[in-house]
Amino acid sequence: MKYKTDMSTPVRYIKGVGPKKAEVLSRLGVNTIGDLMYYLPRRYEDRSKFTSIRELKVGEYHTVRAKVLASGVFTTKRFIPVFQLTVGDSTGILYCVWFNQPFLKGKFKEGDTVIFYGKAERYKKLQMNHPDYEFLSTETDSIHVGRIVPVYSLTSDLSQRYLRTLLFEAVNRYINVVEETLPTYVRAKKKIADINFAVRNIHFPNSFDALEKSYKRIVFEEFLLLQIALARKKYGAKEAKNGLKHAGGDDLMESLKKLLPYELTEEQDRAIREVGSDMASAKPMNRLLEGDVGSGKTVVALYALLLTVKNGFQGAIMAPTEILARQHYMTMSELLMPLGINIRLLISGIPKDKKAQIKEEIKNGNINIVCGTHALIQEDVIYNDLGLIIIDEQHKFGVGQRDLLRAKGDHPHMLVMTATPIPRTLALTVYGDLDISIIRQLPKGRRPITTFWVEEDRRNMVYAFIREEVEKGRQVYIVYPRIVRDETTGVKAAAPMYNKIQDEIFPDLRVAIIHGKMRSEEKEVIMRKLKNHAYDILVSTVVIEVGIDIPNASCMVIEHADMFGLAQLHQLRGRIGRGEHASYCILIGDPSNEAAERRIAKMVDTQSGFEIAEEDLQIRGPGEFFGTRQHGIPELRFGNILKDFHVMEDARKEAFDIIAKDPSLSDERNAALRKSLEARFR
């Protein structure tokens, strides 16, 4: 019985594979013919230009066409068999050498014309070690030399030569089973190649121009599918008419301005108006608020919460850490409780009986606003009438957690906030379905922070500077990468250094310690005392990265700064410079690699979180910068959102045009797009 071959046919049925090789290929994620066709080369080598033997440059890779003159096998002093081939052209002689491959002797005959590709080296004579080779024949196309040759990522038990041969056979035999996804009208409009041309030339390009066209076609298709998924989601949100309309925004804004002890910046004002407009609509708000550390995003959140309470609904603000949740609770209580608004804190660290009481008050509607952590999404937390959800430091939460909170209400409005600015390149990928507000300006009165990089051997100067700051009445943070010392690495840690700082370095000063393993009550007491200036120095881990607001703290020392990520260093630095005093961030470290040096140099060079985010993306790449998986976005298989951003923007525009005209992709011309979309975004 004959089976129809298509993209889902298991790779083991391809000639030359079989069950054993199929197991090896599965390690590369290649299980079907479709997987094989889209297993793209990681780079290419131009082996299309021949070099005469006389013109070979030692240390460089060359392609040579030559005749076999002689061959033989000999053994080294260490009993390693060596196969040596003597070849020549009209300009000279070259020796090709293979170790541990005596069986090659039977492959070459005197007089054969062969193409070789490898690195020219000179020992006693000019030679190539383990070159790729291809017998010159008019009957077969050379795939390993004499052309632009693909180079693939491999796994053990798989050779470059085998995989390249397999791909060549597969492309020639099965190219017609590769289905066209892009409608003809899109390909004509964008002037891009059809899929058969693209797949053939992405593996075995006829020219670099054909390679470029093929790559652009495959990347455009991937970006287009991603952006169509985002466009459909955004369109669905815009069409929804089941949101909770909120009225009275303008009056409330004036009331809020009177509450605040400072003047709003233009960008805060604009963000508030955008949020007010969203919440007045019949569709649920779905907005991202981006703002640098200390840019005043909380004021926007305050306005949204006031608006939902005024309209008879409850508001919930979820933060990733207890410290940040507590900070929100304290700030909001101070400003809103005098207005008769009931605010509660719900975190895992509070006593069981008190927690049960708070949950009961949330359920019966006695609480207007609840600040908390993951505790807000527990099954037994039932809201009376949830009108607004605010997620702070949203990148710390996955899509599932945000959806759990949203499901607690009847289509509540949602505002997600981040103090880690997201480069536009990434925002279009991960947040293409959200409306975005950006606050770049810092509030009036925020002073710039002077940042220094100090090497380990100048530590005593740092301690002297700390003492000067304390004598001026200021407070200081000293941050370590871990709590307990790792004896194998010698990296300083918070717990042992706290004892040393208090007992030996600053015995006359008041020193405290805070870290993630302490109980909530302990952390709360320390932070309250710090705010009341009961301590001069706080020794800490990254637990203070968010949610700490001590205007009197003017200096931060970050130990082993080269071990921290760029975004984390910037977040930590944002804990100072919040008052009227000049502030200083001192980075102590001896970077051991170029990436660490770049991070520290960028911290010294700029205070802009947006610049830092772009640099961080360049250093770490999209995958590490932002765990896209937890946000419901599939990993990009082909495109690079940094290198191919212009293709991404082009695909985004086309995607939104398609969905504007055909929201459900029901047009017959878009049937293949719809099918591919369903397969990719199950």
180: helix, strand or coil = coil
Query: According to the model, what pLDDT value does residue 399 have?
Result: 65
Evaluate whether 418 touches 409 at the Cβ level (below 8 Å). no
Query: According to the model, what pLDDT value does residue 338 have?
Result: 83
User: What is the spatial distance between Cα 458 and Cα 315, in angstroms, rounded to a whole number?
Assistant: 50
Statement to judge: residues 406 and 457 lie in one domain = no
pTM of the model: 0.67
Q: How far is CA 40 from CA 178, 273, 410, 633, in A?
A: 14, 47, 46, 21
Statement to judge: residues 395 and 466 lie in one domain = no
Query: According to the model, what pLDDT value does residue 596 have?
Result: 86
If phi over 0 gives left and psi between -120 and 50 gives alpha, with beta otherwise, what is residue 493?
Answer: beta
User: What is the spatial distance between Cα 145 and Cα 134, in angstroms, rounded to a whole number?
Assistant: 6
Statement to judge: residues 275 and 410 lie in one domain = yes
CA 343 from centre of chain: 35
130: helix, strand or coil = coil
Query: According to the model, what pLDDT value does residue 430 have?
Result: 66
Statement to judge: residues 471 and 595 lie in one domain = yes
User: What is the spatial distance between Cα 156 and Cα 161, in angstroms, rounded to a whole number?
Assistant: 13
DSSP letter string over 615-660?
Answer: HHHHHHHHHHHS-GGGGTPPPPSS--TTTTHHHHHHHHHHHHHHHH
User: What is the spatial distance between Cα 574 and Cα 556, in angstroms, rounded to a whole number?
Assistant: 10
Statement to judge: residues 498 and 390 lie in one domain = no
Q: What is the helix (H) or strand (E) element at residue 388, kind and residue range?
A: strand 386-391
Statement to judge: residues 407 and 463 lie in one domain = no
User: What is the spatial distance between Cα 176 and Cα 218, in angstroms, rounded to a whole number?
Assistant: 16
Q: Which domain holds residue 371?
A: 249-280+296-418
Statement to judge: residues 474 and 570 lie in one domain = yes
State which amino acid sits at residue 367.
I
Statement to judge: residues 461 and 576 lie in one domain = yes
Statement to judge: residues 265 and 389 lie in one domain = yes
429: in domain? no
DSSP letter string over 487-520?
Answer: TTTTB--HHHHHHHIIIII-TTS-EEEE-TTS-H
End-of-domain residue from the set 606, 630, 661: 606
CATH code for position 340 = 3.40.50.300
Statement to judge: residues 406 and 456 lie in one domain = no
Tell me how many domains the chain contains. 3
pLDDT under 70: residue ranges of the chain: 1-4, 137-141, 237-241, 249-250, 394-399, 424-426, 428-433, 445, 547, 620-635, 682
φ/ψ of residue 579, rounded to 5:
-120, -160
Strand partners, 610: none
Statement to judge: residues 465 and 507 lie in one domain = yes
Residue partners of 667: CB distance under 8 A and separation at least 6 = 661
Evaluate whether 426 touches 625 at the Cβ level (below 8 Å). yes
Q: What is the helix (H) or strand (E) element at residue 165, kind and residue range?
A: helix 160-174
Query: According to the model, what pLDDT value does residue 56 have?
Result: 94
172: in domain? no
219: in domain? no
Query: According to the model, what pLDDT value does residue 273 have?
Result: 92
Give Dmax over CA atoms of the chain in angstroms: 98
487: in domain? yes
